[in-house]
Amino acid sequence: MPAAAAPAPAAPVLRLSLEQYRVIVAHCLDGLPDEACGMLTGPMVGGEPTGEVGGVHPCRNADASARNYTVEPRDLLRAMRTADAAGHEIVGVWHSHTHTAAYPSPTDVRQAVDPAWIYVLVSLRHGEPALRAYRIRDEVITELGVAVA
């Protein structure tokens, strides 16, 4: 596994409320044995997420697979509309890895769609879910801080 680059000075810290954290992890557990996914919405300043999260939106995995996910486009559209109504934007996406680490796979890196987004990985391979956040830009993975309060 390649080492994550040290966080750039401007890298945001993902700030989740305890409730948001629980929604994400519960959705990942509910999705078993398949991977689960969802969207994060919040403010962007100058095209970059601030790390603040206004909403977490569980989505269906259109692939219904333990190895891949595709966010169901209708659910993505709903998240975009909700974000727009709040003056927010899509700031990231989360998905689970059921049997591997909370680290972007080569597939995740190759398919990373937006360099501004925060990519949240939830590993369920051990009893206790592990949640970590990254930025994926030009195929370079940068780990971001996560604060849950």
Binding site for another protein (CB under 8 A): 35, 37, 39, 44, 47, 63, 65, 67-71, 73-74, 76-77, 80-81, 84, 89-90, 93, 95, 97-100, 104-108, 111-114, 116-117
Shortest Cβ 131–another protein spacing (Å): 15
Q: How far is the CB of 124 from another protein (least distance, A)?
A: 11
Cis peptide leading into 33, omega within 30 of 0? yes
Contact 136, 119 (CB under 8 A): yes
Q: Which is nearer to another protein, 16 or 38 (CB)?
A: 38
Task: Sheet with 118-123: list strands edge to edge.
Answer: 55-59, 37-42, 89-97, 118-123, 130-137, 140-144
- CA of 35: how far to CAs of 25, 27, 53, 144, in Å? 12, 10, 22, 22
Q: How far is the CB of 24 from another protein (least distance, A)?
A: 15
Q: With H, G, I as helix, E, B as strand and everything else as coil, classify residue 67.
A: coil
Which one, 10 or 149, has the nearer CB to another protein? 10
CA 137 vs CA 21, 42, 84, 109: distances in Å: 24, 20, 24, 9
Residue number, 6 or 45, with CB nearest to another protein:
45
Cβ at position 90, least distance to another protein in Å: 6
- Specify the residue, 19 or 48, whose C-beta has the smaller distance to another protein: 48
